[in-house]
Structure 1
Amino acid sequence: MIKKILIAALLLALFLLGYYFFNTWQRSHNLSLWRFVPMNAALVYESDQIGSVLLNLKESQLARSLTMVPIFNKMYREIEKIDSLTGGNSFYAFANNLPVLVTIQNTSKSKFDFLFLAQIDQFTDRKGSKEFLEKLIKPDGQKSKRNYFGFEVNEIETADNDHFTYFIYENYFIGSFTPYLVEDAIRAQVTIESFETQFPEHRKVTKIKQDEGNLYINYPELITLSRAFTENELNPNFLNKAFLDLGISDHSISLSGFSFADSSHQLNRIKGITGAPFDMSDIISNNTSIFHHFSFSDPQLWISQQGFNTEVSSKKENIIKDLGFDPYDITRFLDQEIGLAFQYRNGQLEPLMILESNNSIELMNHFDAISKQMPHVAADSFFIEIYNEQIINKLPIDDFPVMILGDLAKDFPEAYYTSYQDYVLIASKLPLLKDVINDINNENTWEKSLKKKRFLEKITQEASYTILVNTAESWSQLYPTILPELKKEFYQFDYIFKSLENIALQFSSVDDKYFTSLLIEQATVPKAPESNVIKTKVHEFNKPLITKPFLVRDAPGAKIEIIVEDEANILHLLNEDFELRWSKSIFKPIVGELTQIDFYKNGKLQYLFITADSVYLVDRNGENVEEYPKYIAPNLSALAIVDYDGKKNYRFAITTLSGDLFITDQQGTPLEGWDPYHFSASIIGSVRHFRVGGTDAFAIVLTNGEMHLISRRGKVFPGFPIQTNMHIQSDYHLQVGSKFETSKWTVLSESGTLLSVNLKGTIIDRKELYKPRTDSKFQIHNDLDEKNYLISKQFENSIAVVNNNDAIIFEKNQLSSENVKIQYYKMGGDNDYFILSDLANQLIYPYDLNGRLLTTLPLMGDQPISLRYFKKENVYEIYLIRENKLILYLKK
């Protein structure tokens, strides 16, 4: 029995040993460069002339432009590091005439890196390759080795303390500046689970020998890679993978080949569809950011393959049942093209559908007939408007376009429509449709644009599906989606991205795959805008600064001086030459503004401000005025100076976050009845004191919407408080007249209700401002003298500036809405400025009221600025904080 067991065990051992050697032989026999490519590679570039391609690419105007952006220059920087280990341009020589692959993969949430793979079985016959490897194997500098799954992995330290990791196995060289990408390559070979098993089609497709290489796209991993650049997700259901040939010219990059998609992917919706010519350029507005073009020879087949969700299908069935017609009937009026144009307006993309019709009049009549069949709707209640001789109607059924065309029309809850020649135009918003009508009538269309027309002639004319992107028009939409850590870099080089005026991505169905072409064209050579400001003075401190530059004088008419506070709570005074006069510890940050008073009534000015709990009065030599600082209460929020009769007998109105109001004498001692005066909610901004007809009053607005008018003795005026029932976070505006009845007090709710009352408590006006989005935030901004105001509307990454009649003054889109501080400088004439300090991105935008930058380029800064204008010389001084530096810019 034991003998039989031993024989069986021996046979089993021999079988396992034989299987091991057979498996090892088979793996070695089937070994290829592709076996080392990790499954999670997003892009794989293949070439046997990569050295020449990369050097030629450097000479391309388009590539030169793009590689000015640091994140797109990463591969060249890494090759320079490799060359620093081996000397000269050895990598380029090494990589020529060898099969080489370069992969791009995510290495963390917002990072990516490259993996270099080369087949070196012929390298001994080539001097350049041999020298490269010999120098890399024996580098000058520190080198370490380790074992990973039986592979000897080497790591070399570069001069800048980076590390290049590589291994050589049989005839293959694999390396990366990210060690675990090299480990991924080893695991791919050991487990036989590589990119090759994920993308077996790469062996079947025909490869062009005379191009600049091949690009393989693993679309699910491309989505992951995109997160290294943008917060927006690519459509996860669009396609599966793609193989494309690369072509390079001086002003363009082209890719062409095949994409693959199964029944679960949206690209499958054009399967078997025969395309038709692109003929609708004469009605596509030049303001279009993104355009989707669908063409077909059989409209019914095309529509039958579009996606309809369950809710839409159910709604369609109810319409058929209740009204006796099928939305699908519209297909008999369709010709061979459908366009979906997007314009970026009011901080969001607004869509316009273009239907080519074999009889546009009959299609309009069909829509009209649908309206007339609606029950319980009077004929005279249907929307109809004549605009520029065009009749505009509105479909009375919500979501009707999506019932006809599926998910393609999901952004059309409402549908305004009109006809133009052989087309019917449908918009979800009436203003967009009117603007497109104007553009067509004014010939502001692609057909009339020479650049656009030439580009359209270069693309495939009968592709089933085409996506066209105008980067310059789309940049306002694209920029806000960029990762915060890249925003500064992308803004600095936005002129490069805007120079890519035309991008076309096209698909056509061919058997079980989709012919794919991508063309990126740079219409003009980009030039960096030149700054029109001069940096004239800089003072560098030991610590970062935490306040704006406060401009002060030690006496009326004296030269300007500057006060700043650093993060150690040290106050610094500098003279006009940026020389430090004194520094002083104040223990806590300044809250709000720093102002000046003539405390001693001798023409010399002192500096007044509050911290979180105390009021400070500092003289021009940096010494505390006697009895100061004076503790008031915790959580102070604002300070206002009161001078009842103009005789410099000052009172200080100090508020807290909890809704307390202290009014003190000029020694900081609270007055009777104001120690404190308590309100039911937090107080907005500082208290406003004014005098009308010899009567003193204080205006106070609370966050819960209450408006209080109180006498200097603490008595409430008749008609107050007013309960507005609004939530208020914005500043307010007070226009004092000759009487209480003619004075005007304006407040603005966070949701956009603008309310004006007189000082008798009578409501003068109430209006709802237009809300671009449901999450829009509204604020009033007073100028420095509080005589004028403007209104801002912030939504997502955009801002619109309007007046009190809700008329738009200008709109801007490239902002981070997280932390934008706004200042309004009214200097008279055309010299009014709206300063946007985008503190999240450390960018300062000084806009005039036409939306033009005062400085050509935004300034780099992390605090609000101070601005001065000299009318006679027409010169601006911009005082700016950047980290630990105080900087003065001059603009002529």
Structure 2
Amino acid sequence: MRFICFFLLCVLTYSCSNNKAKSPKLINFIPDNTSVILKTANLEGLKSSLNNSDFLQKISEVNSYSSIKNKLVPFTRLNSKNDILICFSKNSKDSLDCSLITKYHKELLRTDSLSNYTEETLTLKNKTITKSTINNSHFYSTIIDSIFIVSSSKNVIENSFSNIVSDTELEKIYNTTNNDKTLSVILKPNNTFLKSFFIEDSLSLKSFTNYIVTDVDISQNNIFINGITKATDSTKSLINIFKNTIPQENQVQNITPSNSDGFMSFTSNDFKTIETNLIKYNSQDSITITSPLFNDITEIGVIYEDKNRAIVLNSIDLIATKDALAGEQNVIDTYREIKIYDYSQPSLFSKTFYPLISFDKANKYCLIDNFFVFANTIELLQNIIASYQNKTTLDNKTYFEDIKENLNDASSLMLITDYKTLNSILNKNSQEDYNYKLKGYTASAIQFIYDTNFAHVNGIIKKNKTKVSQNSVSEILNIKLDTDLLNGPQLVTNHITKEKEIVVQDVNNNLYLISNEGKIIWKKQVEGAVIGAIKQIDIYKNGRLQLAFTTPNNIYIIDRKGNNVSPFPKQFNSEITQPLAVFDYDKNKKYRLLVTQGKNVLMFDTKGAVVTGFKFKSADNNIICQPKHFRIGSKDYISFKTKNKLYILDRVGKTRVKPKTSNTYSNQPIFLYNNTFTTTTLNGSLVSVDSKGNVSTKNLNLSKKHNITATNKTLIAQSENKLSIKSKTIELDYGNYSNTQLFYINNKIYVSITDLQSHKIYLYDSQAKSLKNNFPVFGNSAIDLDNIDKDKNIEFVTKGENNSIIIYQIN
């Protein structure tokens, strides 16, 4: 018996390990000639980021970019729930091939709703390939061991059956990627797409390093890059000249004029090591005599100004560096009390530090504090001196401070560019002469920090903030979706960061969660339109928040990752007629979910079970507003109304207060105002019922088409072109107005209303004064207002054009 058990155990162990060994990974199917790999865990978020990025939209018209974009169009139809790899390569005809690899599931490609879509099945040696056509665009796909592979190239798919390979170095690089970012980019050795990051032609990416992998975070006005690079050959890749050195603090920005084109800086704790490594890299004679000028230098920089260059040496021993220049003391000019000297060895820098420095005409120099500055013109030196003394260097500019926040203070190699230089680098890579109109991108950066056998990479392309005046409103984001919006956007809380995010639904009933930087976190299709506002609850009582809402036939509870919380969604045969009401009587997160269906109110717990203790049966007529919970003293009240009756119940659904007189009610909500249950009649009167059932009526002279909102001490009413805030009335232009909204933030009341006809948003304080001097602003829906981030300014979100969301900031 023991032998049989032992035999079965061996078979089971072998079977499990064998299956595991045979289980392929996405990277095993990367085509051989792939140069660039994009990895994302959120295809919808990637699409949105690419479409909304100001920088990427500016470069999208260039042929090389648009050809990539066109190749990606068929893949945007995929509905992947897993990691996706997008691979770019050049084929034998130097044409672009694009391939996508992901795990297969049955809803991965929904073709039933696609017009102009056809497909046919091809057979290759008993292997099945699907040829698909969308609007005359062809692509090929297959499934191998649950891996779905689709490509613009038939050859790529054919080769995928035999090209299951393992690249150990690539796998190590791949495993460093982060799924929390918009995407990860892997550049393989000798990639044919990206040629250089640098200004100098002597610095090509091909000779600089091998593998580069970066996580890329794309928002509307920023692109942040963070990753590593690794060169496998220690002598043939330039990045390895920093091996066995320690990066020092970059300081060249302290002396670079803000009107320059940018600068490059490289640092070391020991420049002798850099020189030795460069001798090997350049295959020079090892007995080359080195200059004592660099013995006490921690940083060398190159400042760019058109075709001119200034070379900067950052010295830690001024006396020793001056001694090394003892034979170079011929004064040729004095500017602002700083002497400018002649320099007889302008080629020294290129001979010593090529290819980092290729400039060999720096025949003049001056000393500014601890910086020895060499240049080819007196004018350039004078500009550097004046900028330093006037404190108009890059380090004094707010736009440089903005990008510096995302960079390390110390790096082995760093490049800072202005918009003109960034434009020329882009053209160098696209081989086109194009004006990208990047004037807003005043400073961009890339830096490399050498570590043991690899280097960290940081990069930033950032649109500098437009200077705004105080007491003004500025548009900070305009987020475009693929489809028109069904309703106005709403703010919800991110329980991790405590900041706000945006929830919105499109006309295809897709629900989106969008970050306050404009990135789509997830997109999820629900059955039907969301009714009313979405609530947030903590169903597990652990601080994590879920979204709770109803559609016409379902209750949904969705977690932060876009997953349904079991046992929801809960489906109903009869139509749900009012927004979901969520009650937390004792603030202990023991939620009650109230669903209204015509005359009936059903109460559920968070497990989807009917709360049997709630005894309310049915109203006399259809309920015309969302049920609400109020607490006065120690007593709970549940209130709702029909056309002719106001219900005020206790927790178990029994009548707690019976109004002593009846009215014909409007469909406006019920509020607790002055500790009374307050709403309006159909003819525009204000009705208040106290806890004893006494009824008071006040004629507000409201039209039948009116709306109200209230706190316990503040009543807001809108009727036709009149907006009343407490006792004050404002006359608006005649229009089609959204419901009035009241926000209470930082002990201050804000009142908002939107004219949907003229697309104007108005905002007032509790004294009926317009809040800021440039209201009204453009918008097409009611707003949601709060502080969405960690600064002190408050923001609001609204619908812009049919498919866009606008975020405004009140400065």
Larger Rg: 1
Per the normalisation by structure 1, the TM-score is: 0.45
Q: Under a length normalisation based on structure 2, what TM-score does the superposition of the two structures give?
A: 0.49
The structure with the largest helix share of the pair is 1
